[in-house]
Amino acid sequence: MKDCVFCRILGGEIPATTLYEDDATVAFRDVNPAAPAHALVIPRKHIATLDDATAADAELLGKMMWAARAVAAEMGVAKSGYRLVMNTHAGAGQSVFHIHLHVLGGRGFTWPPG
């Protein structure tokens, strides 16, 4: 998708600090970190929101979770604790419409989230 910022990162048009990649996913540092450790895991396939995923994407969604685990280890927060977030639709705070898992760590988190 030419207007999608994350597709442009995948295409190398926009630079990013990559932490992990495999056949299905890429993870890079969030440009505006909300925690000392903050990365985004995205699928190589453009899917606008979680609601646009189909049953055929179920394995891909699992691969995003698996990648997040590796990213947490790469950022050094695997044992201290980390939070995974996927904002879905603008009402929940989604601002980039290419699904992504936030991997956040390096500080304490409260519950419920704000």
DSSP classification of residue 51: G
Q: Which helix (H) or strand (E) holds 34?
A: none
Residue in 38, 46, 89, 100 annotated catalytic: 100
Q: How many CB atoms lie within 10 A of CB 93?
A: 12
Of 7, 30, 98, 20, the residue nearest 63 (C-alpha): 20
The least distance separating ligand AMP from the CB of residue 42, rounded to whole angstroms, comes to 9
Question: Which is closer to ligand AMP, CB of 56 or CB of 95?
Answer: 95
Q: Which of residues 57-96 bind ligand AMP (CB under 6 A)?
A: 87, 93-96
The least distance separating ligand AMP from the CB of residue 16, rounded to whole angstroms, comes to 5
Q: Which of residues 11-30 bind ligand AMP (CB under 6 A)?
A: 14, 16, 30
The beta-carbon contacts of 23-26 under 8 Å, at least 24 apart in sequence, are 24/60, 24/63, 24/64, 25/60, 25/63, 25/64, 25/67
Q: Give the one residue of 3, 23, 32, 108 binding ligand AMP; rule: CB under 6 A.
A: 32
The sheet carrying 25-29 orders its strands as 18-21, 25-29, 37-43, 101-105, 82-85
Question: Which is closer to ligand AMP, CB of 30 or CB of 57?
Answer: 30
For this structure, is 89 an active site residue? Answer: no
Catalytic positions, written as ranges:
100
Chain residues binding ligand AMP by CB under 6 A are 5, 14, 16, 30-32, 40, 87, 93-96
